[in-house]
Amino acid sequence: MPKLTINEMPVEVEEGTTILQAAKKIEINIPTLCYIQNFDPIGACRVCLVEVEGMRDPVASCSTPAAEGMKVHTNSQNARAARKMVVELLLSEHQGECQLCDRNEDCELQRLARDLGLKMIRYEGEKSRRIVDESTPALVRDSAKCIGCRRCVTACNQVQGIGSLFPQCRGFKTYIGPAFGNPLNSVTCVQCGQCAAICPVGAISEKDQIDDVWRVLDDPSKFVIVQTAPAIRAALGECFDYKPGTIVTGKMVTALRKIGFDAVFDTNFAADLTIIEEGTELLTRLKKLLVDKDKDVALPMFTSCSPGWINYAEAFFPDILPNLSTCKSPQQMFGAIAKTYYAEKIGRKPEDIVVVSVMPCTAKKYEAQRPEMFSSGYQDVDIVLTTRELGRMIRQAGLEFDQLEDGVMDSPLGVSSGAADIFGNTGGVMEAALRTVYEIVTGQEFPFPKLHVTPIAGLEGVKEASVKIETTVPEWAFLKGVEVKVAVAHGLGNAKKLIEKIQAGKAVYHFIEVMCCPGGCIGGGGQPRQTNDEVRTARISALYREDEGKKLRKSHENPDIKKLYEEFLKKPLGEKSHQLLHTHYHAKEKV
Amino acid sequence: MKDGKCACEENVSESELFERLDKVLLDYHDKPGGLIPILQYAQAIFGYLPENVLKYISTKLNKSYSEVAGVVSFYSFFSTHPRGKYLIRVCLGTACYVRGGKEILDAVKKELKIDVGETTQDRLFSLEVGRCFGACGLAPVMLVNENVHRRAKPSKIAEILSAYKGGTGDEQ
């Protein structure tokens, strides 16, 4: 247990603790840039330099272990000068164009320059070379803004296990990106946007579609409706300096109405619909196995709400594509229903309806333009904004977010259950499905306290639970005595571990939820920056609170969903459902 | 090189070259840090590192193409373009640089009318820069394939290269 002093304050830490961690323990803040929670430091950016007595040069506190008797100074003349110099050098090659950058006032480099009191950049020289990559529907990369911190490399390689981003070349020519500086669409990228979510500057961002939305809002011939995903309401507040985990559903609805949308709806409605379809699909697969003794039935069944996960499965695990639920994601179910059922209801032609979604996700931008997503005869979802884009759009509209009154979603595509709220967090889709499937099969109340299946909640990478079916209604008698085994994974690295375990025959499940991003959609690539485990936990508990605050907690009890089946779809997995709500997948080459 | 007989000397089909690469992969695929030796052998086998070879290696090693490309583009030793029969590498390491390596490089460029990283039209010569061959006592050094030209002089470059053109370069 080394004892040391930092800024004359004594501190004792465990062997292997870094100076940065030791300082944090006694509430001394050292600025960092390349450092990310839960991963080994790489010491690339040198922003965390501190002075250690007896050492010739300042050291990177993120990667220097604290040692017995060390005397560390984080705010000495030398330490401050060294950090200033590092940031000055970073800025000397950075082509930030701050006023035009979507990270303006939300940029870690900008903040560092301000906090360190940088007054001028003394070095004039070559700037980073500019390659702007707009090759994917989801992301834009600008190498001239990249400062080479490699956080995105960690997110892409270690968190998600994709590896589309990697340092190329060397020295001043170092370029963070796909092979040989080629565009992102030349390699396998699932478009999850975890790189964009973790980038400290404006080098990787979502493809901004705000102007496309303004354009349709300005067009009087268009009827523009908006849907918002469950995870938005738990994070949008952060764009306006609310604490992570503040629920802002009401203000968000009012903001959307004031921006000029003709109707404000909820993706949650479609989440409830997803549960009905997906739950029925699971039961149908179980029936095939247990009653028809069909050994080829594809089980375990995997959820299919997360487009990054779908992209991943298509490229990395094409063998399991039959195991993916054929259900479209709630975003796409919403679009298909809006341009058919709803269009009919309000007497508008589908071609005049524009569906805008607000998603925590960059991969949703890709999903919306997949060729399978034109079931209404038109592109079912026209424009996808991320949470961050909605935040910017609210500012562009001149709205004072914190002054807005609470509004309520419109009917009929705006009513939803608490089960739909928790679609936004890891374990939530599974819990929502279990609430419904259990009650359909047993006819009994879901037996978990507060309806929560706690073993599958929280930030553990892979989680599992089982539910024993003791009694059943006559229709599902074959499930009597069956123990339904489920698993949940979030983050693709964890999904990979889980799939490999199943493929090795080391585990057997019936139903598996996978969300592409760590923490689930609340930690999505389109959410306000920065997301760490504290922020994830706060957003997750916000969604559970939202769920618990509702009278309606189960998808199958949603009255507007019942009406949708009565008036239009007729029955789950019926002909109309197949046409509008289900899809299929294609194996893709992995590069 | 062990499994890495160079293809340019013989008429060998591509599938045979891939068989040679497979042998290398078998030896190295599960060794930590195996990527770099695999790339060295692959370059010896194919003469350079074409895209299909790199993608093949990345699939076999279960590494992303971007990661493999990152390693290839880091080292000046690796080339993703076909090289000429003779690869000229002029050392610009510190010792060679101070003893006139830059002038040697300029003389080669002028003689062959190509820049660094390029190959002559007749596919005879490619030009690369080295960052120290560990022969500083012989500076400035120029390598032509495996031949070391020690204490090179700009005025001798034309003569050295014409010997290679005439087929007697290796005897110098």
pLDDT in tens, A208-264: 999 999 999 999 999 999 999 999 999 999 999 999 999 999 999 999 999 999 999
| A453, part of any domain | yes
CA B99, CA B96: separation in Å to the nearest integer? 5
Q: Which residues of B touch A152 (CB under 8 A)?
A: none
Question: What pLDDT was estimated at residue B12?
Answer: 83
Instruction: Based on the fold, state whether residues A30 and A56 are members of the same structural domain.
Output: yes
Whether residue A8 lies in the annotated active site: no
Chain B residues whose CB is inside 8 A of the A177 CB are 66
Q: Phi then psi for A508, rounded to 5 degrees? A: -130, 130
Sign of torsion over alpha carbons A278, A280, A283, A285: negative
Report, in this order, helix, strand and coil percent for chain B, each rounded to 5: 50, 10, 40
Where in the sequence is the domain holding A344, given as residue range(s)? 213-269+331-403
Residues A246 and A384 in one domain: yes
CB A546 within 8 A of CB A233: yes
Which residues of chain B have a CB within 8 Å of the CB of A161?
none
Question: How big is chain B, counted in residues?
Answer: 172
Q: Please return the burial class of B120, using the count of CB atoms within 10 Å of its CB with bins 0-12, 13-18 and 19+.
A: middle
Whether residues A219 and A199 fall in one domain = no
What is the architecture, at CATH level 2, of domain B86-171? 3-Layer(aba) Sandwich (3.40)
Q: What's residue A536's pLDDT?
A: 97
- CATH number (domain holding residue A520): 3.40.950.10
Each residue's pLDDT tens digit, A381-402: 999 999 999 999 999 999 999 9
pLDDT at position A135 = 97
Q: Which of B64, B92, B131 should be substituted to probe chain A, the one whose Cβ sees the most A Cβ atoms within 10 Å?
A: B64
Q: B1 pLDDT band (50/70/90 cuts)?
A: very low
Q: How far apart are CA A133 and CA A142, in angstroms?
A: 6
pLDDT of B76 above 90: no
pLDDT of residue B9: 54
Catalytic residue among A128, A205, A304, A325: A325
The amino acid present at A26, given as its one-letter code, is I
| Catalytic annotation present for A45 | no
Interface-testing mutation among A187, A312, A588, A589, with chain B (most B C-beta atoms within 10 A): A187
Considering the domain architecture, whether residues A233 and A346 belong to the same structural domain is answered as: yes
Q: Which residues of A touch B70 (CB under 8 A)?
A: 166-168, 179
Tell me the two tokens of residue A341. 């059922």
- DSSP H or E segment with residue A463: strand A462-468
Q: Is the peptide bond before A455 cis (omega within 30 degrees of 0)?
A: no
pLDDT value, residue A451: 92
CATH code: domain of residue A371: 3.40.50.1780
Indicate the DSSP class of residue A177.
Answer: E
As a whole-number percent, the residues of chain A with pLDDT over 70 amount to 100
Q: Is A157 in contact with B64 (Cβ distance < 8 A)?
A: yes
Closest CA to A302 of A176, A175, A490: A490
pLDDT of residue B71: 97
Section B43-59 average pLDDT: 95
Burial A387-421 (b: 16+ CB within 10 A, else e): bbbbbbbbeeeebebeebeebebbebbbbbbbbbb
Domain edge (last residue) among A348, A368, A403? A403
Q: Do the Cβ atoms of B66 and A170 come within 8 Å? A: no
A306 and A393 housed in the same domain:
no
pLDDT of the residue at A530: 87
Are A209 and A359 within 8 A, CB to CB? no
Query: Is-contact B114 B120, C-beta < 8 A?
Result: yes
Q: Where are the beta strands (DSSP E) in A119-216?
A: 132-133, 139-142, 166-168, 175-177, 204-206
**Active-site residue, A293 included:** no
CATH assignment of the domain containing A47: 3.10.20.740
* Residues A14, A74 share a domain: yes
Reported ipTM? 0.92
Residue A163 sits in a domain whose CATH number is: 3.30.70.20
Burial class (CB in 10 A: 0-12, 13-18, 19+), B5: middle
Kindly state whether residues A436 and A562 are assigned to the same domain. Answer: yes
Do A15 and A81 belong together in one domain?
yes
Q: Is residue A99 part of a domain?
A: no
- Give pLDDT, residue A271: 97
Instruction: Please report the pLDDT score of residue A237 as a whole number.
Output: 98
CB contact under 8 A, B64 and A163: yes
Residue numbers of B between 13 and 72 with CB closer than 8 Å to A: 54-55, 58-59, 63-70
A325 part of the active site: yes
Question: Per residue in A246-282, is it b (16+ CB within 10 Å) or e — as a string?
Answer: bbbbebbbbbbbebebbbbbbbbbbbbbbbbbbbbbb
The answer to whether the CB of A299 falls within 8 A of the CB of A286 is yes
Interface contact flag, A169 B66, Cβ < 8 Å? no
Q: Where are the alpha helices (DSSP H) in B1-150?
A: 14-28, 35-46, 51-61, 65-74, 94-98, 101-112
A257 and A286 housed in the same domain: no
CB atoms within 10 A of CB A435: 27
Active-site residue A534, yes or no? no
Task: Decide if A591 is inside a domain.
Answer: no
- Catalogue the E-assigned strands of A319-452: 353-359, 383-386
The whole-number pLDDT of residue B98 equals: 96
Total domains, chain A: 4
Q: Same domain, yes or no, for A430 and A557?
A: yes
C-alpha closest to that of A192 among A223, A232, A152: A152
Measure the CA–CA gap between B88 and B108, rounded to whole angstroms.
9
Q: A31, A86 in Cβ contact below 8 A?
A: no
A296-313 residue pLDDT tens: 999 999 999 999 999 999
- Give the pLDDT band of residue B8 (cuts 50, 70, 90): low
How far apart CA A381 and CA A446 sit, in angstroms, is: 34
pLDDT in 10s for each residue of chain A, 591 residues: 999 999 999 999 999 999 999 999 999 999 999 999 889 999 999 999 999 999 999 999 999 999 999 999 999 999 999 999 999 999 999 999 999 999 999 999 999 999 999 999 999 889 999 999 999 999 999 999 999 999 999 999 999 999 999 999 998 999 999 999 999 999 999 999 999 999 999 999 999 999 999 999 999 999 999 999 999 999 999 999 999 999 999 999 999 999 999 999 999 999 999 999 999 999 999 999 999 999 899 999 999 999 999 999 999 999 999 999 999 999 999 999 999 999 999 999 999 999 999 999 999 999 999 999 999 999 999 999 999 999 999 999 999 999 999 999 998 999 999 999 999 999 999 999 999 999 999 999 999 989 999 999 999 999 999 999 999 999 999 999 999 999 999 999 999 999 999 999 999 999 999 999 999 999 999 999 989 999 999 999 999 999 999 999 999 999 999 999 999 999 999 999 999 999 999 999 999
Q: In what order do the strands lie in the sheet with B147-149?
A: B125-130, B86-91, B142-144, B147-149
Of the candidates A93, A372, A439, A460, the residue annotated as catalytic is A372
Do A360 and A427 fall into the same domain? no
Indicate whether A173 belongs to any domain: yes
Where in chain B are the domains? 7-74, 86-171
Residue A246 has a pLDDT of: 97
Domain boundary among A191, A207, A223: A207
Residues of A in contact with B65 (CB under 8 A): 163, 178-179, 187, 591
In sequence order, the 6+-apart residues with CB closer than 8 A to the CB of B11 are none
CA quadruple A104, A108, A113, A115: dihedral, nearest 10: 110
Select the residue of B59, B65, B80 nearest A187 (Cβ to Cβ). Answer: B65
> Does residue A227 share a domain with residue A346?
yes
Q: How many CA atoms lie within 13 A of B48 on its CB side?
A: 17
Q: What is the rounded distance in angstroms from the CA atom of residue A194 to the CA atom of residue A205?
A: 10
* Catalytic status, residue A521: yes
Does residue A105 sit within a domain?
no
